[in-house]
Structure 1
Amino acid sequence: MKLYLLSLGAGLVVGVLYSLMNVRSPAPPVIALVGLLGILAGEQIVPIAKRLVSGQSLSLGWLQRECGEHVFGALPARQPTDDKNKEQA
């Protein structure tokens, strides 16, 4: 979660600097995001191609394990809570 907040903070700082300097961002946000998605997807082509060339099959589990976290990052997880303590409060 800290990395998400750090990334958001860095983006806000850059946005404020661009605004103070009267500079537009180098690419429209949607185009930049699509480009980043292309980079992430492109990085996954090599491991998938190596697996297929070696004669191994692709499984959903392999794709999730090998590609999922790289593309989506470590997604924040819900912390376990003690429901009994909530009910008493």
Structure 2
Amino acid sequence: MGYIISLGVGFGIGLLYWLLKVQSPAPPLIALAGLLGMVLGEHAIPVVKAQFFAQTTTVQVAGPVKGAEAQKTVAPGATKQGG
């Protein structure tokens, strides 16, 4: 699949060169700008995915506690209500 994408992008860049009337091989400044764009694009995709599709952390809640562990703890300074 990667080869097909690469071929399609290369074809698109070839069309862009033709529209801009840039000779291939491109002048060094245009070629370096294109390479910089490719590198930045390569690194931007994971960043964008992380921002838009960030997974939220989930908290697992334990089930009911049985036996001695089921006693409620009273906060310090709290008074016991009742008779």
Bucket of the pairwise TM-score, normalised by the shorter protein: 0.3 to 0.5
Radius of gyration: which is bigger?
Answer: 2
